[in-house]
């Protein structure tokens, strides 16, 4: 499977890349929403999963979600916000804008696996 | 290793005596990992010191022994743990129950409710799946009084919330409470929480449609498993359902339960041979 990590923190991108690679994903990276649109437009295939930070320069995660949902060719890409934004109203807003799931930082590896399992994105054998 | 053979033997005996749980050799790491934080919390310099107090004749020993048993019987848990049992509830069990009686409340017992994620997950599932006006009641019990208090409070930190709770359910059934999340009153008032030791005779109970007894039997001896299953059968409605953990079964232990495969898992049904006739039973 293919995933894209969209986060302006290089350290967080590295953590999420390593995590996804552990689940046998190939991983693309982008530092903000605008860059993610470019990376996706030039990619050979559409990722099954996008992990998206909220607060980023140029185009934030929520704006990216809105843009991504306008593109029918990306409809099978599961959009997961991964962010420190933790207010009830923000989660509602992200889901209403088209995000499929929401993970609040900090998260544990098990917590992230649980979320991806909900979305059917964890290979058989990883879950015990 | 911090734990001596004698100390491990003492803890094993204590657990067998107080909770009928068998702690096999090789579980020293488990005992150490659970007792080390308990020793710290209770102001003891080491596990050895904690166990000395537990074995002493003074009044504090009873409370310390209780804390030791509780610390060894608490399991890490997550929302909708393993997912399939909750899908089986909605797809197989509820249609059957609703077909049998169109009005009475659906009653479910979460018999090892730990920190509460299982009974609240059941409540979320029922709230979404039951037709309007159809009521439900959940009994949530655990050996640990500490866990009963925690689940009754219904308050969870961010890391706990991240463990398998869909974001849509989070915003629908929880409110922020400082840095934590609080389960809504709508769900909490459907659940009764109480302390209960499954290895002892059960108190009087109204019959249940479903009992969740997941990842509990694995800790007990074959004889205690038989006793627990027999007690549970008595509080199940005729044709009622038993949900066990993935590694557990009634097969070879209690012939009065029938194994019903559901997807990649199975659910167990109290068979009619030992029960009152079941109305409108359909094959699953």
- pTM for this one? 0.81
* Superfamily designation of domain A2-118: Response regulator (3.40.50.2300)
Which chain B residue is nearest to residue A120, measuring alpha carbons?
B83
Do B78 and A88 make contact, defined as CB atoms within 8 angstroms?
A: no
- Distance, in Å, from the CA atom of B119 to the CA atom of A91, rounded to the nearest integer, reads 24
Sequence spans of domains, chain A:
2-118
Dihedral over Cα of B2, B4, B7, B11: its sign: positive
- Distance, in Å, from the CA atom of A105 to the CA atom of B253, rounded to the nearest integer, reads 45
Which chain A residue is nearest to residue B83, measuring alpha carbons?
A118
Do A117 and B78 make contact, defined as CB atoms within 8 angstroms?
A: no
Sequence spans of domains, chain B:
5-73, 84-274
Q: What is the pLDDT of residues B163-174, one digit of tens each?
A: 899 999 999 999
A13-17, B33-37, B72-76, B81-85: least confidently modelled range: B72-76
Q: Give me the pLDDT at residue B199, please.
A: 86
- Distance, in Å, from the CA atom of A103 to the CA atom of B85, rounded to the nearest integer, reads 24
* Min Cα–Cα distance to chain B from A42, Å: 31
- Distance, in Å, from the CA atom of B272 to the CA atom of B258, rounded to the nearest integer, reads 9
Do B167 and A99 make contact, defined as CB atoms within 8 angstroms?
A: yes
* Min Cα–Cα distance to chain B from A27, Å: 23
* Superfamily designation of domain B84-274: Vaccinia Virus protein VP39 (3.40.50.150)
With cut-offs at 50, 70 and 90, classify the pLDDT of residue A126.
low
Question: Which carries the bigger pLDDT value, residue A40 or residue B161?
Answer: A40
3-state SS, residue B133: coil
Q: What is the pLDDT of residues B126-137, one digit of tens each?
A: 999 999 989 999
Question: How many Cβ atoms are within 10 Å of B79's Cβ, its own excluded?
Answer: 23
* Structure-token pair, residue A24: 């046998």
Phi, psi for A18 (deg, rounded to 5): -60, -40
Phi, psi for B192 (deg, rounded to 5): -105, 130
Nearest to B159 among A102, A108, A117 (CB): A108
Pick the CATH number of B5-73 from 1.10.155, 3.40.1350, 3.90.1200, 3.30.519: 1.10.155
Which chain B residue is nearest to residue A90, measuring alpha carbons?
B171
With cut-offs at 50, 70 and 90, classify the pLDDT of residue A125.
low
Do A99 and B175 make contact, defined as CB atoms within 8 angstroms?
A: no
With cut-offs at 50, 70 and 90, classify the pLDDT of residue B229.
very high
């Amino acid at each position: 499977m293919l995933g894209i990590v969209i986060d302006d923190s290089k350290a967080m991108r590295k953590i999420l890349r390593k995590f996804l690679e552990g689940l046998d994903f190939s991983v693309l990276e982008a530092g903000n929403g605008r860059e993610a649109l470019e990376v996706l437009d030039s990619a050979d295939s559409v990722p099954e999963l996008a992990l998206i930070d909220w607060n980023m320069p140029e185009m934030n995660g929520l704006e990216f979600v809105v843009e991504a949902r306008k593109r029918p060719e990306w409809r099978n890409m599961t959009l997961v916000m991964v962010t420190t934004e933790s207010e009830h109203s923000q989660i509602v807003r992200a889901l209403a804008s088209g995000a499929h799931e929401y993970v609040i930082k900090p998260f544990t590896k098990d917590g992230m696996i649980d979320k991806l399992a909900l979305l059917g994105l964890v290979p058989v054998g990883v879950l015990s | 290793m911090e734990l001596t053979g004698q100390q491990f033997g003492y803890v094993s005996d204590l657990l067998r005596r107080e909770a009928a749980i068998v702690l096999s050799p090789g579980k020293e790491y488990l005992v150490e990992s659970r007792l080390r934080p308990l020793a710290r919390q209770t102001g003891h310099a080491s596990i050895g010191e904690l166990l000395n107090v537990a074995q002493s004749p003074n009044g504090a020993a009873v409370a310390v022994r209780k804390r030791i048993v509780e610390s060894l019987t608490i399991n890490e848990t997550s929302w909708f743990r393993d997912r399939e049992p909750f899908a089986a509830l909605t797809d197989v069990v509820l249609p059957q129950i609703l077909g049998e009686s169109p009005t009475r409340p659906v009653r479910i017992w979460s018999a090892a409710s730990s920190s509460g994620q299982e009974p609240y997950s059941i409540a979320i599932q029922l709230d979404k799946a039951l037709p309007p006006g159809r009521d439900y009641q959940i009994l949530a019990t655990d050996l640990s009084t500490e866990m009963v208090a925690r689940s009754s409070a219904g308050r969870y930190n961010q890391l706990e919330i991240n463990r398998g709770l869909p974001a849509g359910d989070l915003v629908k059934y929880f409110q922020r409470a400082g840095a934590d999340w609080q389960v809504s009153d709508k769900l909490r008032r459907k659940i009764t929480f109480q302390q209960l030791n499954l290895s002892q005779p059960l108190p009087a109970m109204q019959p249940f449609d479903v009992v969740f007894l997941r990842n509990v039997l694995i800790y007990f001896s074959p004889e205690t498993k038989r006793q627990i299953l027999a007690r549970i059968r008595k509080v199940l409605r005729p044709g009622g359902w038993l949900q066990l953990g993935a590694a557990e079964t009634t097969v070879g232990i209690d012939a009065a339960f029938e194994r019903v495969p559901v997807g990649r898992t199975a659910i167990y049904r109290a068979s009619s041979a030992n029960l009152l006739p079941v109305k409108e039973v359909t094959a699953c």
